[in-house]
Amino acid sequence: MKDPIKVPTMAEFAATGEVPEVLFWVGCMGSFDDRARKISKAFVRILTAAKVKFAVLGQEESCTGDPARRAGNEFLFQMQALQNVTVLNGYGVKRIVTACPHCFNTIKNEYPALGGQYEVMHHTQFINALLKEGRITVDGGSFKGKRITFHDPCYLGRGNGEYEAPREVLLKLDAALVEMKRSKEKGLCCGAGGAQMWKEAEPGKKEVNVERTEEAIGTEATIIAAGCPFCNTMLNDGVKHFNKEGDVVVKDVAELIAEAGDL
Amino acid sequence: MSFSAIVFLLAFAAAVWWFTRNVRRIRRNILLGREEDRTDRSGERWALMAKVALGQSKMVVRPIAGILHIVVYAGFVIINIEVLEIIIDGIFGTHRVLSFMGGFYDFLIGSFEVLAVLTWLGCAIFLVRRFILRIKRFWMPEMTAWPRTDAGLILTFEILLMSAFLLMNAADHTLQGMGVEHYVVAGAFPVSAHLAQLFHFSALAPSTLIGIERFSWWFHIIGILGFLNYLPYSKHFHILLAFPNVWYSKLKPKTEMSEMPRVTGEVKSMLDPSIPPPAPPAEPANGLPSEHFGAKDVFDLTWKSLMDAYTCTECGRCTSECPANMTGKLLSPRKIVMDTRDRLEEVGKVIDAKGQWEDDGKSLFSRISEEELWACTTCNACTQACPVNIDPVEIILDMRRYLVMEESKARQELNAMFTTIENNGAAWAFGPDQRMKWTEE
């Protein structure tokens, strides 16, 4: 049994007068979704192992407003955004890291116009930096001989031009990184973006996540690496659709690193 | 001035006048859109235009179509340098007025001939791909009769223009060889010399050859003037708008949505009652509709979205990369852009007929359905694929904003999601008190 994780809040930091190095923005998926909570925990274990002084907002964190905005509800988005900006600015937050590319995109690109200026990193960028600085090391031995394929989240890749950080991290594992035909700029969506996560797909002849998972399975990878809790859910459902749970697992980049580092 | 010079000048003036008139009409239509500043970072914009529009960097992502397109594009543009000489000859009754350049002139004419053949072949292959191989993206539902005809006309026309150019040179070359008066010996004819041989031009009487040469000359120049005037009615207008459209590209991250400062004003006033709500927007002049939240009609889109609409050449790369479309949903980003253009043209015609805008009871929603709009995952595969940086996602999201904020017409589950966020500050029904639970497991 691993030690329980310790997750300090900004309020606790403020009470001691200390300032954390970075704020971990957990996101709604990372806080509430059974599968995504495991990603949050894996990332916390990495932060802890790297001795990063981090904090979360805890009860003071609220939805960034991304799904409301993509679904056309600008009022609700701005309500959420302005409240979050007030909280973040109240704590004098400068750096934010998040495991969700949608939170990442919104806070990084859309909060500045509403008064929130922060340095925002996706957790794969953050982990990559920790590895480069030698603050954590991984022994990828347990992944030797395995095939991993990385699914680019649209909001990280095409949206924000980050294709390399997650791949550089994955290359630390002793596995073969295989690319799907549609990757990087041409990466295919998992089907969840633009608020689709919250609704039934419009009528069609196939589900987007099935199309994408089919391609991932086609690489003969046994691990589909994801960098987004929504993609993770969609790909997991896709794997179930093909009854491949025994052969293929969907794991977040953070989970793979935590596993390799036995964190 | 000779009779033919007068005919030429009249044709030329008429062509320029009509073309200018149509360009001004299109410009007016584009400016019906909302204001948006796209003039920042101009250095970056010039570089982007050089790379994407001039250098066609996004075309070659698909190598076959991309390389053929560069051949046709380069051929067509470069051969039109020859039009300069044709115009001078037409006005002054000279023949090959630029031939004083000597060896360089020979080089130019020789290269034009090679490019003409390549362009001819490129267009022929495009016709085969489109109408014989019937590549899927050219036969999707939005490719109705007119878009298909338009594409066929453009390619056929370019083939005819190139044929006339080569035939003119073949006859000219033969006449030069015969020492016929007026036909000064000038130019190199690496292609048309063979063409002349193939058609046994040397066996024809000089008067017949002059007839062929004159006919081809007139066909080429009238054809080009006609083609110029066809552009504003055609998807082929992209050869001009591609350049400004790329210059005015969205430079922000693809997934960053546009701001709505008016909403910010209202929300700030809601959160803090001491802040007065913003003044309502001024009623627009000239009978134009008042401002909406989001886009109901073309007036509510930005001018850049409207320029996008006129720039689209219906290649369908956006749609062929769209996850919604490839899984059988109704959404096709190309259709969104074509519908926007068609609606804008419709609005323009009302303004032309009545002198100002009068509500015709229609809008973008007369053409674009809610089902299409709600199928988008905002993945930006379409904006990535577009060779001229058109942004269909912006139109889709602006229309969603209208549906939700003005009509309260979101999909039912999305309304539930809105309520959940309002009540819990989370997109799922968990309260703030449960935010830290994951740390305790």
Residue B392 has pLDDT above 90, yes or no: yes
- The confidence score (pLDDT) of residue B282 equals 83
Rounded average pLDDT over B311-318: 98
- Asked if the Cβ–Cβ distance from B253 to A109 is below 8 Å, we say yes
- Asked if the Cβ–Cβ distance from B323 to A191 is below 8 Å, we say yes
Fold of A137-260: Rossmann fold (3.40.50)
Which of A4, A59, A78 is facing B433, going by the closest CB pair? A59
Q: How many Cα atoms occupy the beta-carbon half-sphere of A118 within 13 Å?
A: 33
- The confidence score (pLDDT) of residue B89 equals 85
Fold of A10-129: Glutathione S-transferase Yfyf (Class Pi); Chain A, domain 2 (1.20.1050)
Residue B353 has pLDDT above 80, yes or no: yes
d(CA B125, CA B286): 48
- The tens digit of pLDDT for each residue in A136-193 reads 998 877 898 899 999 999 999 999 999 999 999 999 998 999 999 999 999 999 999 9
- Asked if the Cβ–Cβ distance from B400 to A72 is below 8 Å, we say yes
Which of B377, B405, B427 is facing A194, going by the closest CB pair? B377
**Amino acid of residue A47:** L
Rounded average pLDDT over B325-329: 98
The sign of the torsion formed by the CA atoms of B131, B134, B138, B144 equals: positive
- The tens digit of pLDDT for each residue in B150-169 reads 999 999 999 999 999 999 99
> Which of the 8 DSSP states describes residue A140?
B
Do domains A10-129 and A137-260 share one topology? The answer is: no
- Asked if the Cβ–Cβ distance from A32 to B293 is below 8 Å, we say no
d(CA A159, CA B130): 32
Residue A247: strand, helix, or coil = coil
- B284 confidence band (pLDDT: 50, 70, 90): confident
- Asked if the Cβ–Cβ distance from A30 to B438 is below 8 Å, we say yes
- The confidence score (pLDDT) of residue A1 equals 54
Q: How many Cα atoms occupy the beta-carbon half-sphere of A197 within 13 Å?
A: 27
Which of B371, B384, B405 is facing A72, going by the closest CB pair? B405
- Joined together, the tokens standing for residue A5 give 């994780």
Question: If you measure CA to CA, which chain B residue comes closest to A79?
Answer: B267
Which of B254, B375, B402 is facing A158, going by the closest CB pair? B254
Residue B181 has pLDDT above 90, yes or no: no
For chain A, the structural domain boundaries read 10-129, 137-260
Instruction: Give B-chain residues touching A4 at CB under 8 angstroms.
Output: 440
The sign of the torsion formed by the CA atoms of B286, B291, B295, B301 equals: positive
- Asked if the Cβ–Cβ distance from A205 to B327 is below 8 Å, we say yes
Contact (Cβ atoms closer than 8 angstroms) between residue A110 and residue B397: no
Question: If you measure CA to CA, which chain B residue comes closest to A193?
Answer: B377
Residue B59 has pLDDT above 70, yes or no: yes
Q: How many Cα atoms occupy the beta-carbon half-sphere of B251 within 13 Å?
A: 15
How close, in Å, is residue A230 to chain B by CA atoms? 12
- The confidence score (pLDDT) of residue B1 equals 66
Instruction: Give B-chain residues touching A40 at CB under 8 angstroms.
Output: 438
How close, in Å, is residue A9 to chain B by CA atoms? 9
Answer yes or no: is the ipTM higher than 0.90. Answer: yes
Instruction: Give B-chain residues touching A194 at CB under 8 angstroms.
Output: 376-379
Percentages (nearest 5) of helix, strand, coil residues in chain B: 70, 0, 30
To probe the interface with B, which of A5, A32, A184, A234 has the most B CB atoms within 10 Å?
A32
- Asked if the Cβ–Cβ distance from A62 to B425 is below 8 Å, we say yes
Which of B323, B404, B439 is facing A73, going by the closest CB pair? B404
Contact (Cβ atoms closer than 8 angstroms) between residue A198 and residue B426: no
C-alpha angle A138-A141-A145 in degrees, rounded to nearest 5? 130
- The tens digit of pLDDT for each residue in B248-264 reads 999 999 999 999 999 99
- A262 confidence band (pLDDT: 50, 70, 90): confident
Listed in sequence order, the residues at least 6 apart from B24 whose beta carbon sits closer than 8 Å to its beta carbon are: none
- B93 confidence band (pLDDT: 50, 70, 90): confident
- Asked if the Cβ–Cβ distance from B438 to A37 is below 8 Å, we say yes
Contact (Cβ atoms closer than 8 angstroms) between residue A174 and residue A143: yes
Residue B345 has pLDDT above 90, yes or no: yes
- Asked if the Cβ–Cβ distance from B255 to A154 is below 8 Å, we say yes
Q: Nearest CA to A32 among A100, A125, A85?
A: A100
Instruction: Give B-chain residues touching A228 at CB under 8 angstroms.
Output: none
Q: Which residues pair with B302 in a beta bridge?
A: B34
How close, in Å, is residue B155 to chain A by CA atoms? 29
Give CA torsion, residues B136, B141, B142, B143, to 10 deg.
Answer: 50
Residue A97: strand, helix, or coil = strand
Q: Are strands A223-226 and A95-98 parallel, antiparallel or unpaired?
A: unpaired
- The confidence score (pLDDT) of residue B87 equals 82
